[in-house]
Amino acid sequence: MGLSPRQRAEAAEIAAELARIARSGKVLQGSIVTRRTHCGRPGCKCMADPPEPHGPYFQWTRKITAKTVGRWLSPEQAEEYRSFVDNDRRLRELLGRLEAIGLATLEADPRTRRKT
Ligand SMILES: [Zn+2]
């Protein structure tokens, strides 16, 4: 089945962005989180009124099967790798749009049996 001109244009647009991200090689699964902690030691600034927590500390985390794995990052790393994580998210969005085109093509195919 053929794609409509509009779908073809959208696929080309997606391909260009996919290629741009792939060429950068800057793709990282998971997320980067900011943590501020309270150590609980009496007299520490984190227990003062108002409390001043420790940090911020930065952590990259990702899920491997059911387990979350993490690495501590320097503030500089956190800033740098945030774009890697954003790129990964964008790749998934773009793949989702491609899959939607495939689904629309199948649904529009006259040979596809109607749901009953
Ligand atoms: Zn403390």
Is the residue at 113 inside a domain? no
Q: Provide the pLDDT for residue 116.
A: 62
Is the residue at 84 inside a domain? yes
Distance CA 107, CA 47 (A): 61
List the one residue out of 108, 97, 92 whose CA is nearest residue 12. Answer: 97
Is the residue at 92 inside a domain? yes
Distance CA 56, CA 75 (A): 8
Ligand 1 centroid – CA 21 distance (Å): 41
What is the total count of domains within the chain? 1
Is the residue at 115 inside a domain? no
* pLDDT at residue 1 is higher than 80: no
How high does pLDDT run on average in the chain?
93
Is the residue at 116 inside a domain? no
Is the residue at 52 inside a domain? yes
* Mean pLDDT value across residues 9-38: 96
Which domain, by its residues, includes 63?
5-108
* Positive or negative torsion for Cα 25, 30, 33, 37: negative
Ligand 1 centroid – CA 110 distance (Å): 67
Is the residue at 114 inside a domain? no
pTM recorded for the entire structure: 0.81
Summarize pLDDT for 27-42 with one digit per residue, the tens.
999 999 999 999 999 9
Summarize pLDDT for 27-84 with one digit per residue, the tens.
999 999 999 999 999 999 999 999 999 999 999 999 888 888 889 999 999 999 999 9
Ligand 1 centroid – CA 63 distance (Å): 29
Ligand 1 centroid – CA 80 distance (Å): 28
Q: Provide the pLDDT for residue 97.
A: 97
Between 21 and 112, the more confident residue is 21
Ligand 1 centroid – CA 94 distance (Å): 44
Is the residue at 53 inside a domain? yes
